[in-house]
Amino acid sequence: MKNIIIGEYESQDIQGQVDKIIRGLGNPDPPLILDDARELLLLDRKFYSSADTSAVSEVVSRLTVAGKQIIKRPMILFDAIRKAKLSALWLPDKKRILLDESQPKLKHRWNEAHEIGHSIIPWHDALHLGDNEYSLNPACHARMEAEANYAAGQLLFLQDRFRTEALDSTVGLNTVKELKVRYGNTLSSTLWRYIEEVGGDTPMVGVISAHPHRPNNDFDPDRPCRHVIQSRGFKRAFSKVSEKILFREIRSYCGMQSGGPLGESDVILKDDNGDKHAYHFESFFNRYDVLTLGRYLHPLSRAVSA
């Protein structure tokens, strides 16, 4: 699944909201302490278990996502939450974040920041609960999630601080791993943020996928990548490069290792005009996902019409 790149107006607005928080916290050093951010925003945090039907009962009375049928049959909502694998919820009327305690603790930090993102984006309150023609549109929901993810990244990586440190370092997965430790976030979220900031208008791509030679039982060869992270420059010029093409290139150089670096290689990708360009790809397996960073090198040839 390719990432959604939010609009310039929305990104500037979100950056402004996050900047207020960071300044309110006294421009802290990394890693950001989320407890301090919640206290500043007067937010409450509770945990629930996706295995416990009573834990989400208060959500039922506030959602009208399927009209009256949901209200009459609360288990329909609970089943929807469980099937959708929701890891967190935001209740605007109570200013409360609910986190699924059954999720791995390493993911709690990102999930909480994501819900904080919903809470600080002004236009999300009106759309987050209740159904209407716009909010029930899947494209609207996907964009809201992308906006909350962007806000989470801006917050957890302290905006300009991360950008400056990333741009001052050598481009590569080693820098991503160093920044992961410094900012106290997962490798996946650090890779995502790194491509947003270092890539920018330059073509750069990241892939989060299964191990190409050790696939899981639920591996789908038609959708081999869990996430494809595009910089603005990559999306603009290489939008026709599919996840299957990217996964094929990754598989061509990756080794069989059960963890750590899997390999690196120069690969060739065609832009939307059919012209060939060289990238350098490198991949790392954290024993859950393979994370790949592809950085642009140079053009190779131009397609010429006969």
- What would the two tokens of residue 117 be? 């993102």
Mean pLDDT, the chain, integer: 87
Q: What is the pLDDT of residues 101-150, one digit of tens each?
A: 888 888 899 999 999 999 999 888 765 544 444 444 677 878 989 999 99
pLDDT of residue 20: 98
> How far is residue 101 CA from its own chain's centroid?
20
pLDDT of residue 214: 94
The Cα–Cα gap between 56 and 43 comes to 18
Domains of the chain listed by start with CATH number: 8-156 (1.10.10.2910), 160-301 (3.30.450)
CA-nearest of 28, 52, 56 to 40 is: 28
Q: Which residue type sits at 222?
A: D
pLDDT of residue 69: 41
CA-nearest of 41, 35, 84 to 63 is: 84
Name every residue whose Cβ is closer than 8 Å to that of residue 89 and which is 6 or more positions away in sequence: 48, 56, 59, 81, 97, 98, 115
Kindly list the distances between the CA atom of residue 120 and the CA atoms of 20, 80, 105, 235, in Å, as whole numbers in the listed order: 10, 26, 24, 27
CA-nearest of 100, 96, 107 to 38 is: 96
The Cα–Cα gap between 183 and 10 comes to 25
Q: What is the pLDDT of residues 182-232, one digit of tens each?
A: 999 999 999 999 999 999 999 999 999 999 999 988 999 999 999 999 999
Q: Which residue type sits at 303?
A: A
- What average pLDDT does the segment 265-280 reach? 97
pLDDT of residue 172: 97
